């Protein structure tokens, strides 16, 4: 029997405050559910994102008081849908925040949590520098949401550049690898599509990556182009460069079928490093 279900990715703009983020996201959430999506995916920092140029300064609140989380939980219960909250900013220890994603079940309960492990500390140019670790406390634990619809490995944005995390999730049973993001326009234009397709191909899993789109208050711009990629590496849906919702129907039997064609997840072998000295040329 085929294991198919409908998903939707919300491509929202990065709003500087939580109320603005709610105003941006909730009509899309409603539209996605009306169109038949059984599981919705939102981007990183979907509860709001701002910067001061170098540091990320998203609006934060405690988990039990966060308006975006509360609104999405209420909606999930009312409409009977699952929601992957890419991430929101929570107040954390010593003045820092936690970049935390959630899986909300169709009764509005918190099914799982994931704190972003890899933080975006990069020097793209002399004038373009980001230091996420200045304000964000990193996570330490990978997360697999074993939902009734699918087994979903949850990663966030910069995690996309660390294939070991994705492989561990796939070898633990993930059928979908999700990577909600607020990828920068510069790195997105260069790497977004190829990285998402690579993670799908090398792990023979679906990849679902909702990405924010547009200017970030305080400096920066998010790339958009939310993606759904098949286990064979085909782009099934692309959100382009404007806000909106993309839909896809996933057949999870494609995961096993692709793995049977190229069973690379079973072919890992231990190896050592050879002598790093240069060989002498005879």
Cβ atoms of residues 116 and 84 within 8 Å: no
**pLDDT at site 280:** 56
Express as a percent the part of the chain with pLDDT over 70. 97
Is 205 a known active-site residue? Answer: no
Per-residue model confidence (pLDDT) at position 70: 98
Q: What is the pLDDT of residues 206-241, one digit of tens each?
A: 999 999 999 999 999 999 999 999 999 999 999 999
pLDDT digits (tens, 9 = 90+) for 143-175: 999 999 999 999 999 999 999 999 999 999 999
- Determine which one of 57, 116, 143, 179 is catalytic: 116
Model pTM score: 0.95
**Cβ distance 29 to 10 under 8 Å?**
yes
Supply the pLDDT for residue 22. Answer: 98
Active-site entry in 24, 44, 137, 175: 44
Whether residue 126 has pLDDT greater than 90: no
Residue 157 annotated among the catalytic residues of the structure: yes
Q: Give dist(CA 219, CA 22) in Å, integer.
A: 21
Q: Active-site residue among 157, 178, 179, 211?
A: 157
Annotation says 116 is catalytic: yes
The domains located in the chain, with CATH, are 4-262 (3.60.110.10)
Percent with pLDDT over 90 in the chain: 89
């Amino acid at each position: 029997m085929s294991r198919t279900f409908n998903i939707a990715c919300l491509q929202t703009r990065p709003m500087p405050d939580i109320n603005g983020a709610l105003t941006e996201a909730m009509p899309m959430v409603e539209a996605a559910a009306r169109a038949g999506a059984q599981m919705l995916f939102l981007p990183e920092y979907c509860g709001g994102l701002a910067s001061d140029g170098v540091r990320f300064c998203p609006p934060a609140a405690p988990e039990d008081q966060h308006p975006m989380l509360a609104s999405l939980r209420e909606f999930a219960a009312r409409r009977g849908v699952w929601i992957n909250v890419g991430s929101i900013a929570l107040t954390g220890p010593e003045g820092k925040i936690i970049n935390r994603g959630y899986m909300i079940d169709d009764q509005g309960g918190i099914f799982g949590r994931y704190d972003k492990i890899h933080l975006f500390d990069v020097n793209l140019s002399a004038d373009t520098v980001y230091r996420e670790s200045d304000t964000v406390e990193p996570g330490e634990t990978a997360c697999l949401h074993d939902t009734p619809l699918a087994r979903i490995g949850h990663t966030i944005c910069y995690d996309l550049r660390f294939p070991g995390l994705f492989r561990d999730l796939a070898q633990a049973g993930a059928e979908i690898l999700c990577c909600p993001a607020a990828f920068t326009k510069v790195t997105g234009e260069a790497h977004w599509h190829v990285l998402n397709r690579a993670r799908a191909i090398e792990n023979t899993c679906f990849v679902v990556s909702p990405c924010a789109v547009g200017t970030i208050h305080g400096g920066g711009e998010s790339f958009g182009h939310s993606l759904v990629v098949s286990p064979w590496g085909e782009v099934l849906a692309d959100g382009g460069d404007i806000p909106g919702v993309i839909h896809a129907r996933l057949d999870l039997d494609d995961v096993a079928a692709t793995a049977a064609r190229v069973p690379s997840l079973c072919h890992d072998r231990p190896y050592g490093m050879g002598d790093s000295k240069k060989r002498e040329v005879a």
